[in-house]
Structure 1
Amino acid sequence: MQQSRWIGQGTRQCSRLICQRRTFHEYFVTHLPSSSLHPDSRSSAGPSLHRLPRSASQPHSPDPSGASRSPSALPTPGSQTVGVSRDTTVVRIPLKSAKHHFGAGVSRGSRPYNEDTYQAGTIEIPAFAKRQPISYTRSKARENQGAESASGDPQVFYFGVFDGHGGSECSEFLRERLHGYIEEAAEKFGMGSSLRIGQEEEAENDTVKQQDALELQRQLVDSWKDTVGGYFKRFRPEYFTSLQKTATPSRATSSHLSEQPGSSSAFEAILTYAFLRADLDFTSAQASKHSPSPSSDDPVLDDKPLNDNDVLSHPSKPASQNLTHREILRAPIGGKTRFKGGSTASIALLSTPTPTPFWNPASPATLVVAHVGDTRILLCRVSDGQAVPLTTNHHPSTPVEATRLRRYAATFVTDSFGEERVLGLANTRAFGDISSKRIGVSAEPEINTVQLAPSEYSFLVLMSDGVSGTLSDQEIVDIVKEARTPEQASRDVVNFATEVSEEADNATALVVRLGGWERRGEGGVGSLGTKEMRDYRKRDAEDPRARRQ
């Protein structure tokens, strides 16, 4: 009875979220002075009023009086006040097209098709950035260089790379839906902003939300036990504090209550829940697929997708609110028959304490990385120019992963390339892969939080194993240092990895500009540390006799 009550409550909550949630934004929002816009765009009567030349657009010049004009004080047609207004206009800039801030390089290599996908944009969750000291925020004027999201907090940026195997169904599912699961988990757990003063006292009194979060965690783990069994009968996610049997009940309860909705530990639990819930929905939908009966005589049933009611195809299921109308009309993910593929995933979320964007040299930021599999995320430090890895590959050769799975895996074998595998899989954590769930191949993420000081790091790189499996971490960041823009850097990394690889895998690289981008060549020896090795590898790859057997 209690379980049905929670299920009904969750269904109503999901329905409310679907109605309220906006679609995923592949752009960021910023403010520009209205005086910097083209005169035609500032006209209230439209661009056909005066057709002034672009040379008539004047740079923004501050008002000598320092007064800020209201939106109602816009210049009237024919007025001569162009260029002196302090009014600002909200502008949406597609992030994937902002080559000076973000770049993505993609190549299928020598494979017949590409199973890698990626995502970049902003999501609607409360800010989780570290709050700045009150004395600093009060003494520093609010810089109007960014914009706030619908929640009232600065925008939270989202970057993800997904490497599919056995097909692209799972990686496409993660590209279109994973950020929706994060938004829904933040709503269900009652996540609050880390920037609002006085919120802690309110969170301590809101025991209902805390009890709801505990129940959601228990329900999710119980669902894994009932659906899959095996390894998940003793499954205790790291950040689900209420399920840790190593601590006493009183200690577990007190530690959970001390986690405020805006704290990093609470956000880690939200990310863990989102990853595990997305994987459970995808795995359940995989298992429910089956081949159509050849003896069916009903043409209507034969033409109807057999997975019509699962999360992979129905637009009213959780996280499907992120789909556009065109995507909803597309064929269900994976078609009608069961598939055995899966995908790795690495996502990076950036939050700032002020509307000033994270790529501003004076802006601090908080970076949270959630990672499953062998996709990889790197930072480049300005002081010494070194690569800072934020993820570790989840392979059977990793001691932590080997210890976790040896009680459940039947065999660990080494292939002809010297790589250790478990039941034929190179990854011990992944989405999908239903045939390996019972032995512990889960989507429980490894989470890392980094506080980025102003201009401490020059850029962030996310890549699939088609890049990281061929190039070293330092080679990757050195290639980026030599590029002029993140867009050029991402293409250079992918092209070099594809050229020097004997059997090029699908390769994807995302380069994100940070505050120290202009100083990326200063630390250490710049890009010269691996220059000689990279030149040798390129000459060797271009020599047709070098690889002759």
Structure 2
Amino acid sequence: MPPHCLSINGPFMIVTSARRVTGRAWTSTGYSFIRPRRSQEYSTEAIPQDEQTIVKRRPQFRDYFITHLPSSSLHPDPRGPTSPFHKLPRSASVPHTGDTSQSPTPFQALVDRETTVVRIPLRNAKHHFGAVTARGTRPTNQDTYQAGVIDIPAFAKRPPASLTIKRNSSPRESRAADTANGDPQVFYFGIFDGHGGSECSTFLKENLHEYIQDAAAAFEVGSSLRTNQQQISGSEQAIGPLPVMQVANRHRIGDLEKHLVQNWRRMVGGYFKRFKPPHFSYYGSESAEAPSTGHVSIEEIMEYAFLRADLDFVKAQAAKRDDDLVQAEKPLNDDEILHSPSLTRAPKIGGPSRFKGGSTGSVAMISTPSPTPFWHPAGPSSLLISHVGDTRVLLCSTENGEAIPVTSNHHPSSPIEAGRLRRYAATFVTDSFGEERMSGLANTRAFGDVQSKRIGVSAEPELRRIEMGAAEYSFLVMVSDGIGGTLLDQEVVDIIKEARTPEQGARDVVSFATEVSKDGDNSTCLVIRLGGWERRQEGGVGSLGTKESREWRRQDATDPRRSRT
């Protein structure tokens, strides 16, 4: 046993210097259970030396967030008063005025009491987040989603010095707990819509956040809030104030990007022979030299993570034989030794046979410059959207109540997508519904789709960064095409305005879309509360803008004469 580990209670151990092990690990907040990762996460064979750091470091993704709450009646503050305040005689009771110097000692102890760090499951926090999915009339539900706290350095824009002078005087109950590296928590929300099956969307749900964490670790990214002021000022003079740059190992980033682009060219070819990711600073040219700025943007990290995840999935499918009936009938764990995933040599991605389908996906990450959570009305935050396909992301403006689309559909009808692919695409056709398709596909960007990679169906994400002011937006919505193709953006936003909680808003959107839909596609809706949630009905006419049209659509959908047409 290593000297830094002390075995207790059988398989559990206390770790003093090792960061990630199986069992229970001691952190600053106490014991936390760390699950063992799957077979493909332990295999380091066929991985270049410059990419093995991605496998060695194991960041932790949590489906809960950590915050400070005051002590409750079950755990009273020992410094508090010995008797309840409501039992004091009228002559001895003094109203609390907020001035602790003139207040009695019990009141002062109540105001200055200690807070407790608690963990709140994100999926059960219906007042902060809501997620609902429905199968519709399809035989299976191919939509998946993910929500939690991702272990990467903060990428938020640093607040002005005037806002950070009195940071310590803010109430402790209104701030979240810091992560292990000292930064505020970075929240991660993802929605994935599979087509042809759920293998690809399930893979993205379980692994895409880990690719992002591993890419940030391999790039050796530093926090945007703890960077040397001289380095930041020098980079702003060289590249401008935007995007927000973070300290990183530029030489290592160049090697990783070069190897990734070469893999795409060598394995797929076609469209990827001239492939140049727009956010990559180094394209893998033999005569080029890696930039020596020593900084990287979060956009470059996300683009690398998306392309890396897509490459691993496509490579795993290409290695399978879809016509091998004997191999297809074998169980997934047939080659495992004592059913131990850590001893499996070949990674398992997808099913036993080749998966020819794919998945779209949208990821939203929110980072705050201070411990104040992003849903606090007085706290600014930075929102980063990474989008592939036709899942939609919307923001509701607190000022006027309008729906603000953050993403665009990657369809052949888009002029940008059509211009990008016409030289490689086999055919552009229009189906019976009047929608353009490329080789039978409705999406020009997607994960997977092995047979369409050579014509340019890639996972290059559309990236957009939004600096959200205090209570500037009411909530964030993420929907699959079962809702985005049925309801208007303003209808989705107006339905959520009428709900009391984000969870109820997500349920109402899915219910209404399922009721008025004609094709019965899978429907998934994620609602994230922002700082202006309490003022969501103040802007403009509130939720009355589309109420009349929604009532007409509901009546038309329930009309028994509708089925005769």
TM-score normalised to the size of structure 1?
0.81
Return the alpha-carbon distance in structure 1 between the equivalents of residues 441 and 276 of structure 2.
23
Change (3 A) 1:377 1:548: same
Distance 1:153 1:16, change over 3 A: same
Q: How far did 1:146 drift?
A: 1.2
Q: Kindly tell me: are residues 344 and 294 of structure 1, through their superposed partners in 2, closer, same or farther at Cα, counting changes over 3 Å?
A: closer
Alignment of 1:240-251 (within 5 A): 240-243=280-283
Structure 1 counterpart of 2:65, one-letter code: F
Give me the whole-angstrom Cα distance separating, in 1, the residues matched to 2:47 and 2:232.
Answer: 24
Aligned counterpart, 1:146: 176
Q: Indicate conservation of the 8 Å contact 1:63/1:84, yes or no.
A: no
Give the alignment partner of residue 39 of structure 1, picking from 74, 91, 94: 74
Deviation at 1:62, TM superposition (A): 9.1
Taking only aligned residues, the RMSD between alpha carbons, in angstroms, comes to: 3.4
Q: Which residue of structure 1 lines up, in the alignment, with residue 22 of structure 2?
A: none
Q: Equivalent of 1:93, from 120, 136, 140?
A: 120
Corresponding position: 1:173 with 2:173: no
Quote how far apart the aligned CAs of 1:135 are.
2.1
Q: In the alignment, is the contact (CA less than 8 A) between 2:335 and 2:344 conserved in 1?
A: no
Against the structure 1 CA distance between its residues 294 and 461, is the aligned structure 2 distance closer, same or farther, given a 3 Å change threshold?
closer
> In 1, distance between residues paired with 2:323 and 2:411?
36
SS in 2 for 1:366: strand
AA partner of residue 212 (structure 2): I
Give the secondary structure class of the aligned counterpart of 2:386. strand
Distance 2:230 2:192 in 1: 36
**Is the contact between residue 147 and residue 189 of structure 2 (CA under 8 Å) also seen in structure 1?**
yes
Change (3 A) 1:408 1:269: same
The whole-number CA distance in structure 1 between the counterparts of 2:474 and 2:129 is 13
1:292–1:336 contact (8 Å) kept in structure 2: no
- Alignment match, 2:300: 269
What CA deviation, in whole Å up to 9, does each residue of 1:75-127 have, x standing for no partner? xxxxxx99576222110000110011100111111111100000111001011
Query: Deviation digits for residues 356-388 of structure 1, max 9, x if unmatched?
Result: 100000000000000000001000001111111
AA aligned to 1:413 is V
Cα offset for 1:139? 3.3
Is the 8 Å Cα contact of residues 398 and 539 (structure 2) preserved in structure 1? yes
Report the secondary structure of 1:455's partner residue.
coil
Helix, strand or coil: the match of 1:529? coil
User: For residue 301 of structure 2, what is the amino acid of its counterpart?
Assistant: I
Structure 1 residues 307 and 260 mapped into 2: Cα distance closer, same or farther (>3 Å)?
farther
> The residue matched to 1:103 in structure 2 has which SS?
strand
2:400 maps to a residue whose letter is D
1:10 aligns with 2:51: yes
Q: Does 1:226 align with 2:288?
A: no
Q: Aligned pair in 2 of structure 1 residues 428, 249: CA closer, same or farther (>3 Å)?
A: same
Gaps of 5+ in 2: 1-44, 79-83, 88-95, 103-107, 236-245
> Which residue is 1:431 aligned to?
447
In the alignment, the residues of structure 1 paired with residue 439 and residue 335 of structure 2 have an alpha-carbon distance, to the nearest angstrom, of 28
Amino acid at match of 2:197: G
Q: Which secondary structure does the structure 2 equivalent of 1:435 belong to? A: helix
Out of 228, 237, 240, the residue aligned to residue 198 of structure 1 is 228
Q: Does 1:542 align with 2:548?
A: no
1:376–1:391 Cα contact (<8 Å) kept: yes
Distance in 2, matches of 1:317 and 1:8, equals: 20
Amino acid at match of 1:271: M
Report the CA distance shift for 1:438/1:294 in structure 2 as closer, same or farther (over 3 A). Answer: closer
Secondary structure of 1:545's aligned partner: helix
**Distance in 1 between the 2:117 and 2:423 partners?**
56
Partner of 1:111: 138
Instruction: Report the secondary structure of 2:204's partner residue.
Output: helix
Q: Please give the per-residue CA displacement for 1:250-309, whole angstroms capped at 9, x wherever unaligned.
A: 9xx6xx555734xxxx1101000000000000110111122586689xxxx966758979
**1:365 is aligned to 2:381:** yes
Mapped partners of 1:97, 1:468: distance in 2: 25
- Is 2:470 the partner of 1:470? no
- Equivalent pair of 2:389/2:443 in contact (CA under 8 Å): yes
Q: How does 1:393-542 map to 2 (within 5 A)?
A: 393-542=409-558
Q: Deviations over 1:433-471 (max 9, x none)?
A: 000000000001000000000010000000100000000
Aligned position for 2:62? 25
Residue correspondence of structure 1 range 77-88 to structure 2 within 5 A: 86-88=113-115
C-alpha distance in structure 2 between counterparts of 1:521 and 1:17, whole Å: 46
Q: Offset of 1:488 from its aligned partner?
A: 0.4
Name whichever structure is richer in helix by fraction.
1
- Taking the aligned partners of 2:431 and 2:154, their CA distance within structure 1 comes to 45
- State the number of aligned residues: 487
Counterpart amino acid of residue 132 in structure 1 = P
Secondary structure of the structure 2 residue equivalent to 1:512: strand
Task: After TM superposition, list the pairs within 5 Å mapping 1:317-332 onto structure 2.
Answer: none
What is the Cα deviation at residue 336 of structure 1?
1.3
The amino acid of 1:8's aligned partner reads Q
Match for residue 319 of structure 2?
A: 288
Note if contact 2:54-2:215 (Cα within 8 Å) is conserved in structure 1: no
1:350 aligned counterpart, secondary structure: strand
Rate the CA distance shift 1:524–1:207 in 2: closer, same or farther, 3 A. Answer: closer
Letter in 1 for 2:419: T
Q: Deviations over 1:307-347 (max 9, x none)?
A: 979xxx965899x9xxxxxxxxxxx5533111211100001
Counterpart of 2:295 in structure 1 is: 260
Q: CA separation in 2, counterparts of 1:370 and 1:430?
A: 12
CA-CA distance at 1:8 after TM superposition: 2.0
In structure 2, C-alpha distance between the alignment counterparts of 1:402 and 1:314, rounded to whole Å: 43
Question: Offset of 1:14 from its aligned partner?
Answer: 3.0
1:50: which partner in 2?
Answer: none
How far has the Cα of 1:41 moved from its partner?
A: 8.2
Partner of residue 395, structure 2: 379
* TM-score, structure 2 as length reference: 0.79
Q: Is residue 124–residue 151 contact of structure 1 (8 Å, CA) maintained in 2?
A: no
Q: After TM superposition, list the pairs within 5 Å mapping 1:276-355 onto structure 2.
A: 276-290=307-321, 333-355=349-371
Q: Whole-Å Cα distance in 2 between the matches of residues 163 and 27 of structure 1?
A: 23
Pick closer, same or farther for the CA change 1:9–1:249 going to 2, 3 Å: closer
Contact 1:371 1:446 in 2 (8 A): yes
Q: Distance in 2 between matches of 1:539 and 1:527?
A: 19
8 Å contact kept, 1:123–1:183: yes
Query: Does the CA-based 8 Å contact 1:121-1:157 persist in structure 2?
Result: yes
Note if contact 1:203-1:260 (Cα within 8 Å) is conserved in structure 2. no
Identical amino acids, percent of aligned pairs: 56
Give secondary structure in 2 for the equivalent of 1:86: coil
Deviation for aligned residue 1:33: 1.9
Q: 1:93 to 1:61 in 2, by over 3 A?
A: farther
- Give, in whole Å, the separation in 2 of the partners of 1:61 and 1:307: 71
Distance change (3 Å), C-alpha of 1:40 and 1:6: closer
With over 3 angstroms needed to count, the CA separation of the structure-2 counterparts of 1:41 and 1:142, relative to structure 1, is: closer
Deviation at 1:15, TM superposition (A): 4.0
Alpha carbons of structure 1 residues 239 and 530: separation in structure 2 relative to 1, 3 Å:
same
More deviation in 195-204 or 91-100? 195-204
Q: Is the 8 A contact 2:220 2:248 kept in 1?
A: no
- CA separation in 2, counterparts of 1:483 and 1:316? 49
Distance 2:343 2:357 in 1: 24
Which residue is equivalent to 1:327? Answer: none
Deviations 1:189-239 (A, max 9, x none): 121111114166399899991111011111100000111111101000010
SS in 2 for 1:451: strand
